[in-house]
Amino acid sequence: MITALVAAALAAGGPIWVGRFNGPGAPPSPWRVVRLDDDVAPTRYQVTTTAGVTSVEARSKDSMAILARPISIDLAATPILCWRWYVDAPVANADMRKKSGDDYAARVYVAFDMPSSALSAGTRFKLGIARRLFGRDVPDAAVTYVWDNRNPVGTRRKSAYTDRAQMIVAETGAAGAGKWVEERADVAADFARGFEGKPGKPTRIAIATDTDNTNGSARAAFADLHFVPRGTPCQS
């Protein structure tokens, strides 16, 4: 079904929508909440209106969970991810260099499957352990765009928890807080740069707000997630 929708959108020359919301209520299927640690309270997600935009609102208090859905995207045709997000404020005590500071007012993830030939024996071993601990939702690789509290836009580094996640600061600080901010990211280029040009297929997109490491609280909202070709404007 997803592949058929993608093919129809490409044939019509339109964007590939993966997150367009109508509310209010629970996030619609195929979106689902994924808890990465059963000992941590989950972030709460609901479709509502934030600053005039129907969107998914995320509320976190000492909590972490992602809201995810499967995708089928041909990054050769539509490599650009567009979205809008809104935060009340960045997480004040966050520090992306440390596990104890690995919290963000807002994140957008793109998860990838990679062929076994592109993964070292050591990487396959570590992924196997991670999946036994945290379930099959652990991806082979991920590119994660974050609203940080201190680092400049464009900062790139591996996650404090795993080298299988490339973190990219898409927005930073409080200057954009309290209003909707539009983003545009070249996922194909960011994946190639973060994982040494190895092959990968995007299989899932997720959004999140988390404050479990810094024991704080945060609110964010997400809207209008879609993929477009290079050179094509985003549509909000």
**Going from the N-terminus, what domains does the chain have, and what CATH number goes with each?**
18-228 (2.60.120.260)
pLDDT of residue 152 exceeding 90, the answer is yes
What integer is the mean pLDDT of 114-132?
Answer: 79
What integer is the mean pLDDT of 23-49?
Answer: 94
Q: Are 193 and 57 in contact (CB under 8 A)?
A: no
Strand-pairing partners, residue 53, are 50
For residue 131, the SS3 value is helix
* Residue 108: count of CB within 10 angstroms of its CB: 25
Residue with the bigger pLDDT between 161 and 138: it is 161
Question: How far is the C-alpha of 30 from the C-alpha of 214, rounded, in Å?
Answer: 30
Q: Measured at the alpha carbon of residue 56, what is the angle toward residues 55 and 61, in degrees to the nearest 5?
A: 140
pLDDT of residue 86 exceeding 80, the answer is yes
Pick the closest to residue 168 from 106, 219, 221, 228 (CA basis): 106
Residue-level pLDDT at 36:
84
pLDDT bracket for residue 134 (50, 70, 90): low
If residue 50 lies in a helix (H) or strand (E), which one and from where to where?
A: strand 44-50
Pick the closest to residue 208 from 50, 96, 63 (CA basis): 63
Q: Are 21 and 54 in contact (CB under 8 A)?
A: yes
pLDDT bracket for residue 10 (50, 70, 90): very low
pLDDT of residue 201 exceeding 70, the answer is yes
b/e per residue 206-236 (b: at least 16 CB within 10 A): bbbbbbbbbebebbbbbbbbbbbeeeeebee
Residue-level pLDDT at 155:
98
Residue for token pair 């190895």: 198
Question: How far is the C-alpha of 50 from the C-alpha of 87, rounded, in Å?
Answer: 10
